[in-house]
Chains A and B, each alone.
Chain A
């Protein structure tokens, strides 16, 4: 129970997870989370898959903020949009389309 924390965390930002995927809903009490500000899609995906969250193992997720996919770190997103670490970011998660769907041969 008393797991040691990783040392000296860097800056954190508060996120709220939402999704429209009916089979991948988080319980209400798990939707708000402080995460390292330098986190990117992969880290967020690992957190969501972890035992204490969705416990889904290894589903790759993509994240939408205000309708566009997160392709940088959260910190870079905040900076690019003139936002501070005080901001509560709403992240909508969707099953990742990576690797890209083959759609050239219809």
Chain B
């Protein structure tokens, strides 16, 4: 059973195809060099060609395993597997889900003015540019399967992990992904997104296990969102984030914090929240203080993304491998 709502998808509005096609080719041209930069940084992180550690017990090798020396002498030189080797790393396979926030807070929606999401300044536009840039980088790496989910009040599949790659060949497949994002959903249900992501990855792992063997599967979800989640959901997200970690699913939250055309103080970094204590006195906190995602980065400009994302993934892999 899938938790992704297939029904209702037909009724959701689509962006005009020719507009989406134009957006795809514009964004692709605009992010070409960033995409290449990200790709070369990720190549080093995602596809290790040499193991850094010497290990094991062999008859010949590169360095002596000190722990084996005493048993070696004690056994009258019979137990002679005393050498360590650099192990050949197992080939890694990746499944990567790009989860794009389709809620209307992603469009510039100051009070009642409903401006177009393709206008010059909005988190939505930055998210779609990032989507194009990251998916192009992953496609050129041929790192594995890439899927796209959209979320708001519910979750939809804009591109399935098992569909043919959308970011490598013609602009058509990419445009069809962009078409799905109109930033008109009137809620941001991050709990539902995480549930759907974990379930989607679990199904995908089973399918992967049936088709290939001996590969080390890594599953990574990148959430592209303005970061505005109802604070009451923060506590409900924590057990789901633990579950994702137990399933070896890495979740990276990329906060789209568009700095174009905004004064300082409009950043989510400055955002505060007010609550009333039991005594009725207002208490004001920084919004991000209760933000539940352990791995998040904040992107003000598209140019920040390749370096920031690479640095975060490098840190994460180092933690996992230590």
Cβ-based interface call for A41 (8 A): no
CB neighbours (8 Å) of B110 from chain A are 16, 88, 90
Pick from A33, A43, A65: contact of B273, CB under 8 Å: A33
CB neighbours (8 Å) of A16 from chain B are 110
Cβ-based interface call for B103 (8 A): yes
Docked-complex contact A6 and B265, CB < 8 angstroms: no
One of B91-99, B174-182, B284-292 at the interface: B284-292
Pick from B105, B276, B281: contact of A36, CB under 8 Å: B276
B185 to chain A, nearest CB (A): 8
Cβ-based interface call for B282 (8 A): yes
Docked-complex contact A88 and B284, CB < 8 angstroms: no
CB neighbours (8 Å) of A81 from chain B are 112
Given contacts A12-B231, A84-B186, contact A34 B271 (CB under 8 A): yes
Cβ-based interface call for B61 (8 A): no
Docked-complex contact B282 and A46, CB < 8 angstroms: yes
Cβ-based interface call for A9 (8 A): yes
In this complex, which of B185, B264, B274 has the most chain A Cβ atoms within 10 angstroms of its Cβ?
B274
B300 to chain A, nearest CB (A): 15
Docked-complex contact A5 and B228, CB < 8 angstroms: no
Pick from A9, A27, A32, A33: contact of B266, CB under 8 Å: A32
Pick from B105, B185, B278: contact of A88, CB under 8 Å: B105
Docked-complex contact A85 and B109, CB < 8 angstroms: no
In this complex, which of B111, B281, B282 has the most chain A Cβ atoms within 10 angstroms of its Cβ?
B282
Cβ-based interface call for A30 (8 A): yes
Pick from B103, B231, B266, B283: contact of A34, CB under 8 Å: B231
Cβ-based interface call for B187 (8 A): yes
Cβ-based interface call for A89 (8 A): yes
Q: A5-B290, A52-B284, A84-B187 are in contact. List 11 more A-B contacts (CB 8 A).
A: A3-B285, A6-B278, A10-B232, A14-B271, A29-B265, A29-B270, A33-B271, A33-B274, A52-B272, A81-B112, A88-B105
